[in-house]
Structure 1
Protein backbone atom coordinates (compact mmCIF):
# COMPACT_ATOMS: atom_id res chain seq x y z
CA UNK A 1 0.00 0.00 0.00
CA UNK A 2 1.38 3.41 -0.89
CA UNK A 3 2.18 6.35 1.36
CA UNK A 4 1.91 4.56 4.73
CA UNK A 5 -1.89 4.28 4.81
CA UNK A 6 -2.90 0.79 5.80
CA UNK A 7 -5.64 -1.24 4.16
CA UNK A 8 -7.92 -1.50 7.23
CA UNK A 9 -7.92 2.30 7.62
CA UNK A 10 -8.87 2.96 4.00
CA UNK A 11 -11.47 0.20 3.91
CA UNK A 12 -12.98 1.46 7.15
CA UNK A 13 -13.24 4.97 5.73
CA UNK A 14 -14.73 3.80 2.46
CA UNK A 15 -17.20 1.65 4.39
CA UNK A 16 -18.43 4.71 6.31
CA UNK A 17 -21.45 6.38 4.68
CA UNK A 18 -20.47 9.90 5.76
CA UNK A 19 -16.79 9.55 4.81
CA UNK A 20 -17.80 8.32 1.34
CA UNK A 21 -20.29 11.17 0.97
CA UNK A 22 -17.61 13.70 1.97
CA UNK A 23 -15.17 12.25 -0.58
CA UNK A 24 -17.81 12.35 -3.30
CA UNK A 25 -18.90 15.92 -2.51
CA UNK A 26 -15.35 17.26 -2.25
CA UNK A 27 -14.22 15.54 -5.44
CA UNK A 28 -15.99 18.22 -7.49
CA UNK A 29 -15.73 21.32 -5.27
CA UNK A 30 -13.89 22.56 -2.19
CA UNK A 31 -16.44 22.71 0.62
CA UNK A 32 -16.49 23.92 4.21
CA UNK A 33 -17.60 21.70 7.07
CA UNK A 34 -20.83 23.69 7.29
CA UNK A 35 -21.54 23.18 3.59
CA UNK A 36 -20.80 19.47 3.96
CA UNK A 37 -23.13 19.22 6.95
CA UNK A 38 -25.93 20.80 4.94
CA UNK A 39 -25.35 18.56 1.90
CA UNK A 40 -25.09 15.39 3.96
CA UNK A 41 -27.80 16.35 6.45
CA UNK A 42 -25.27 15.59 9.20
CA UNK A 43 -24.23 17.35 12.38
CA UNK A 44 -21.05 19.41 12.37
CA UNK A 45 -19.51 17.06 14.92
CA UNK A 46 -20.12 14.11 12.58
CA UNK A 47 -18.62 16.00 9.65
CA UNK A 48 -15.56 17.12 11.64
CA UNK A 49 -14.92 13.58 12.96
CA UNK A 50 -14.98 12.18 9.42
CA UNK A 51 -12.86 15.03 8.06
CA UNK A 52 -10.27 14.37 10.76
CA UNK A 53 -10.11 10.67 9.88
CA UNK A 54 -9.96 11.43 6.14
CA UNK A 55 -7.24 14.03 6.73
CA UNK A 56 -5.21 11.63 8.90
CA UNK A 57 -5.33 9.11 6.05
CA UNK A 58 -4.37 11.80 3.53
CA UNK A 59 -7.61 11.43 1.58
CA UNK A 60 -8.66 15.10 1.87
CA UNK A 61 -6.63 18.29 1.81
CA UNK A 62 -7.46 21.46 3.67
CA UNK A 63 -7.48 24.85 1.99
CA UNK A 64 -8.64 28.41 2.54
CA UNK A 65 -11.40 30.28 0.73
CA UNK A 66 -11.42 34.06 1.19
CA UNK A 67 -14.76 35.75 1.85
CA UNK A 68 -15.85 39.23 0.83
CA UNK A 69 -16.05 40.31 4.49
CA UNK A 70 -12.30 39.75 4.90
CA UNK A 71 -12.62 36.49 6.81
CA UNK A 72 -11.70 33.09 5.43
CA UNK A 73 -13.39 29.70 5.36
CA UNK A 74 -11.50 26.44 5.80
CA UNK A 75 -12.50 24.19 2.92
CA UNK A 76 -11.75 20.58 2.08
CA UNK A 77 -11.04 18.81 -1.19
CA UNK A 78 -10.76 15.10 -1.89
CA UNK A 79 -7.21 13.96 -2.59
CA UNK A 80 -8.12 10.41 -3.57
CA UNK A 81 -7.92 9.63 -7.26
CA UNK A 82 -7.95 5.85 -7.26
CA UNK A 83 -7.93 2.98 -4.78
CA UNK A 84 -7.39 -0.47 -6.23
CA UNK A 85 -7.25 -3.89 -4.65
CA UNK A 86 -5.95 -6.86 -6.55
CA UNK A 87 -5.68 -10.50 -5.63
CA UNK A 88 -3.06 -12.57 -7.40
CA UNK A 89 -1.02 -15.64 -6.50
CA UNK A 90 -2.40 -15.75 -2.97
CA UNK A 91 -1.51 -12.14 -2.20
CA UNK A 92 -3.67 -9.09 -1.70
CA UNK A 93 -2.16 -5.92 -3.16
CA UNK A 94 -3.53 -2.43 -2.64
CA UNK A 95 -2.63 0.81 -4.31
CA UNK A 96 -3.76 4.29 -3.40
CA UNK A 97 -3.28 7.05 -5.93
CA UNK A 98 -3.78 10.65 -4.89
CA UNK A 99 -4.74 13.60 -7.05
CA UNK A 100 -1.80 15.84 -6.22
CA UNK A 101 -2.78 18.64 -8.53
CA UNK A 102 -0.11 20.68 -10.19
CA UNK A 103 0.05 24.45 -9.61
CA UNK A 104 -2.16 25.22 -12.63
CA UNK A 105 -4.82 22.79 -11.43
CA UNK A 106 -4.80 24.25 -7.91
CA UNK A 107 -5.08 27.79 -9.30
CA UNK A 108 -8.00 26.83 -11.57
CA UNK A 109 -9.82 25.09 -8.69
CA UNK A 110 -9.29 28.06 -6.37
CA UNK A 111 -10.50 30.47 -9.03
CA UNK A 112 -13.68 28.42 -9.38
CA UNK A 113 -14.09 28.43 -5.59
CA UNK A 114 -13.75 32.22 -5.51
CA UNK A 115 -16.46 32.65 -8.16
CA UNK A 116 -18.99 30.73 -6.02
Structure 2
Protein backbone atom coordinates (compact mmCIF):
# COMPACT_ATOMS: atom_id res chain seq x y z
CA UNK A 1 0.00 0.00 0.00
CA UNK A 2 1.21 3.46 -0.81
CA UNK A 3 3.51 2.37 -3.63
CA UNK A 4 1.50 4.19 -6.29
CA UNK A 5 1.75 7.45 -4.35
CA UNK A 6 5.47 6.99 -3.86
CA UNK A 7 5.94 6.33 -7.59
CA UNK A 8 3.78 9.38 -8.35
CA UNK A 9 5.92 11.73 -6.26
CA UNK A 10 9.16 10.26 -7.61
CA UNK A 11 7.98 10.56 -11.23
CA UNK A 12 7.13 14.21 -10.73
CA UNK A 13 10.49 14.97 -9.13
CA UNK A 14 13.03 13.13 -11.31
CA UNK A 15 14.56 14.02 -14.66
CA UNK A 16 11.98 15.12 -17.26
CA UNK A 17 9.14 15.18 -14.75
CA UNK A 18 10.97 17.59 -12.48
CA UNK A 19 11.39 20.47 -14.90
CA UNK A 20 8.32 22.53 -15.70
CA UNK A 21 5.83 19.68 -15.36
CA UNK A 22 2.35 20.46 -14.10
CA UNK A 23 0.51 17.15 -14.33
CA UNK A 24 1.69 13.70 -13.30
CA UNK A 25 -0.64 10.70 -13.41
CA UNK A 26 0.06 7.20 -12.12
CA UNK A 27 -1.93 4.20 -13.42
CA UNK A 28 -2.06 0.45 -12.77
CA UNK A 29 -0.09 -2.12 -14.74
CA UNK A 30 -3.12 -3.00 -16.88
CA UNK A 31 -3.15 0.53 -18.33
CA UNK A 32 -0.73 1.56 -21.09
CA UNK A 33 0.70 4.80 -19.69
CA UNK A 34 1.67 5.85 -23.22
CA UNK A 35 -1.93 5.62 -24.46
CA UNK A 36 -3.78 8.83 -23.56
CA UNK A 37 -7.17 7.16 -24.11
CA UNK A 38 -6.34 4.47 -21.55
CA UNK A 39 -4.95 7.00 -19.07
CA UNK A 40 -8.08 9.16 -19.36
CA UNK A 41 -10.24 6.04 -18.97
CA UNK A 42 -8.36 5.17 -15.75
CA UNK A 43 -8.80 8.74 -14.50
CA UNK A 44 -12.55 8.56 -15.19
CA UNK A 45 -13.08 5.15 -13.58
CA UNK A 46 -10.49 4.82 -10.80
CA UNK A 47 -9.83 8.34 -9.58
CA UNK A 48 -11.63 10.06 -6.69
CA UNK A 49 -10.97 13.83 -6.70
CA UNK A 50 -11.35 14.01 -2.93
CA UNK A 51 -8.69 11.44 -2.06
CA UNK A 52 -6.54 10.86 -5.13
CA UNK A 53 -4.98 14.30 -5.74
CA UNK A 54 -1.75 15.57 -4.25
CA UNK A 55 -0.29 19.00 -4.96
CA UNK A 56 3.26 20.25 -4.92
CA UNK A 57 3.87 23.95 -4.47
CA UNK A 58 6.94 25.85 -5.60
CA UNK A 59 8.35 23.18 -7.92
CA UNK A 60 11.04 23.80 -10.55
CA UNK A 61 9.50 25.75 -13.44
CA UNK A 62 10.42 27.29 -16.75
CA UNK A 63 10.17 30.96 -17.62
CA UNK A 64 8.42 29.81 -20.82
CA UNK A 65 5.43 28.92 -18.62
CA UNK A 66 3.15 31.98 -18.64
CA UNK A 67 2.05 31.14 -15.10
CA UNK A 68 5.50 30.67 -13.58
CA UNK A 69 5.87 32.15 -10.12
CA UNK A 70 8.62 34.54 -9.00
CA UNK A 71 11.81 32.61 -8.33
CA UNK A 72 11.13 30.28 -11.28
CA UNK A 73 8.54 28.10 -9.54
CA UNK A 74 5.23 26.52 -10.45
CA UNK A 75 2.61 24.39 -8.74
CA UNK A 76 1.79 20.82 -9.73
CA UNK A 77 -1.03 18.36 -9.51
CA UNK A 78 -0.41 14.65 -8.98
CA UNK A 79 -3.18 12.19 -9.82
CA UNK A 80 -3.44 8.63 -8.53
CA UNK A 81 -5.58 6.85 -11.14
CA UNK A 82 -4.98 3.38 -9.71
CA UNK A 83 -7.58 1.00 -8.33
CA UNK A 84 -7.80 1.71 -4.58
CA UNK A 85 -5.49 -0.79 -2.87
CA UNK A 86 -8.03 -1.95 -0.29
CA UNK A 87 -10.58 -2.69 -3.03
CA UNK A 88 -7.94 -4.48 -5.09
CA UNK A 89 -6.97 -6.69 -2.12
CA UNK A 90 -10.57 -7.60 -1.34
CA UNK A 91 -11.45 -8.13 -5.00
CA UNK A 92 -14.17 -5.52 -4.48
CA UNK A 93 -13.45 -3.39 -7.53
CA UNK A 94 -15.71 -4.10 -10.53
CA UNK A 95 -14.13 -6.01 -13.38
CA UNK A 96 -13.75 -4.30 -16.74
CA UNK A 97 -16.37 -5.43 -19.20
CA UNK A 98 -15.12 -6.07 -22.70
CA UNK A 99 -16.62 -7.42 -25.90
CA UNK A 100 -15.23 -9.80 -28.50
CA UNK A 101 -13.34 -8.43 -31.48
CA UNK A 102 -16.15 -9.65 -33.76
CA UNK A 103 -18.86 -7.84 -31.80
CA UNK A 104 -16.73 -4.69 -31.63
CA UNK A 105 -16.29 -4.79 -35.42
CA UNK A 106 -20.04 -5.24 -35.99
CA UNK A 107 -20.90 -2.39 -33.61
CA UNK A 108 -18.37 -0.05 -35.23
CA UNK A 109 -19.83 -0.89 -38.62
CA UNK A 110 -23.45 -0.49 -37.55
CA UNK A 111 -22.83 2.76 -35.66
CA UNK A 112 -19.88 4.12 -37.66
CA UNK A 113 -21.13 7.70 -37.35
CA UNK A 114 -20.64 7.47 -33.56
CA UNK A 115 -17.14 6.02 -33.49
CA UNK A 116 -14.03 7.89 -34.59
CA UNK A 117 -11.79 6.17 -37.12
CA UNK A 118 -8.48 4.95 -35.68
TM-score bracket for this pair, using the shorter chain length = under 0.3
The structure that is helix-richer by fraction is 1
The structure that is strand-richer by fraction is 1
- Give TM-score, length-normalised by structure 2: 0.27
- Give TM-score, length-normalised by structure 1: 0.27
